[in-house]
Amino acid sequence: MAKRLFCSPSQSISFKFREASFDLLADFLINLNKSNKDNLNNLSKCSGSFKDKRLIEYIFLMTEELTLDPLAGYHAIELLQRFMVKHLTDLLTTPTPQGAAADQPRSYEDAIFDKIKEKFPLIIFSCVQLASKLSLHSHIIDNNTAVQFLHSVGHSVSKQALLETELMILKGLEFRLNAPNPLTYVEILLEVLGHNEPSIPVERLYGLCRYVLQFVSLQKTAIYGTLLKTTTRCVSPSREQREKFVTVTEDCMLLGVGVISVATFILYARKWEQVLGELSHITGISRKSISDFTHVTLMHIVRPSSPVIAFLK
């Protein structure tokens, strides 16, 4: 895998590609593919519910302020999504306590949501803090830094409350903190691409890929909404079509190759066809699927009437 090189937490991250052996890359790719398929086969009906643009932006800003590796931010998003779905499901399926007013069936649910709303900022921060502890490339956010940071943004929280929230998340996730992370997919796919095609400047592509991935993450609803209409050729897709499309919106492998394809088209348009074919060969994802993702994403980056869009059609 590519190596992250640091001098200090406040300095930018640099990478050194092309050092991993073929066998190591093959193992990484097989494991990523399996993880992605397992995730897609076990999607919840609430998948993506906690990947709202405002939440993602909040986490990105937080990781930047705390000078964390961007990888920690993407990992925190996945932890938050998984924990909140599990936590709310457990709370809402628990039998209503005795004494709850029978003539007010929603009062208990309202109380649950009010309690979650009060704790939600701390839950988000704890996911970021946990992600920092899981990353080998980030400095860990200790509780002193955490309390100070939360106080600076208007939340007065004790160290005990931080520990309790962190433990609640760990128990809620049954201490299973490894989750598919879109940035990891981009990095490993770039490493494999550089190994297979040494002429492709993956080092330069990586910097732009990070920005493209951030853009797609923040504009996910709009981009995938357009992609759904493009693939179904329907202006108003049905509920059934939208439900089936969840496997596309949560497909980290497709997102990874799509991000690399977009970055390649922007930086090296002449190599785009070559990279498109190689990415399809590496992942088994059709050229059309990658091309559609590229076209839709670029359409959201630039004006629909731009010559760039016309070139892709």
Query: Tens digit of pLDDT for each residue in 104-162?
Result: 556 767 777 777 888 899 999 999 999 998 876 667 888 889 999 988 888 888 899 99
Query: Tens digit of pLDDT for each residue in 18-64?
Result: 777 888 888 989 999 999 999 899 887 777 788 889 999 999 999 99
* Beta-bridge partners for 15: 4
- Packing angle of the helix pair 53-65, 70-93 (nearest 10 deg): 130
Residue type, 276: L
Task: Indicate if 61 and 96 belong to the same structural domain.
Answer: yes
Task: Indicate if 53 and 162 belong to the same structural domain.
Answer: yes
Backbone φ, ψ for residue 129 (5° rounding): -65, -40
* Structure tokens given for 51: 């990947």
Task: Indicate if 200 and 151 belong to the same structural domain.
Answer: no
Measured CA to CA in angstroms, residue 7 lies from 12, 116, 243 at distances of 9, 39, 46
> Within a domain: residue 32?
no
> Within a domain: residue 16?
no
Among candidate residues 146, 172, 198, the one where a domain is terminated: 172
Position 8 pLDDT exceeds 50: no
* Structure tokens given for 312: 């892709």
Number of domains in the chain: 2
Task: Indicate if 106 and 211 belong to the same structural domain.
Answer: no
Instruction: Identify the burial level of 248 via C-beta atoms within 10 angstroms of its C-beta, where 0-12 means exposed, 13-18 middle and 19 or more buried.
Output: middle
Among candidate residues 172, 204, 232, the one where a domain is terminated: 172
> Within a domain: residue 64?
yes
Measured CA to CA in angstroms, residue 254 lies from 186, 259, 261 at distances of 10, 9, 10
Position 210 pLDDT exceeds 80: yes
Query: Tens digit of pLDDT for each residue in 174-192?
Result: 998 888 789 999 999 999 9
Task: Indicate if 188 and 283 belong to the same structural domain.
Answer: yes
Q: Any idea what the CATH number is for the domain that residue 165 is in?
A: 1.10.472.10
Position 259 pLDDT exceeds 60: yes
Task: Indicate if 186 and 304 belong to the same structural domain.
Answer: yes
Query: Tens digit of pLDDT for each residue in 261-282?
Result: 999 999 999 999 999 999 999 9
> Within a domain: residue 103?
yes
pLDDT at 156: 85
Task: Indicate if 147 and 57 belong to the same structural domain.
Answer: yes
Distance CA 186, CA 107 (A): 45
Task: Indicate if 84 and 151 belong to the same structural domain.
Answer: yes
pLDDT at 9: 39
Distance CA 313, CA 310 (A): 5
Distance CA 120, CA 112 (A): 12
| 208 within 8 A of 263, measured Cβ to Cβ | yes
> Within a domain: residue 3?
no
The boundaries of the domain holding residue 166 are 45-172
> Within a domain: residue 132?
yes
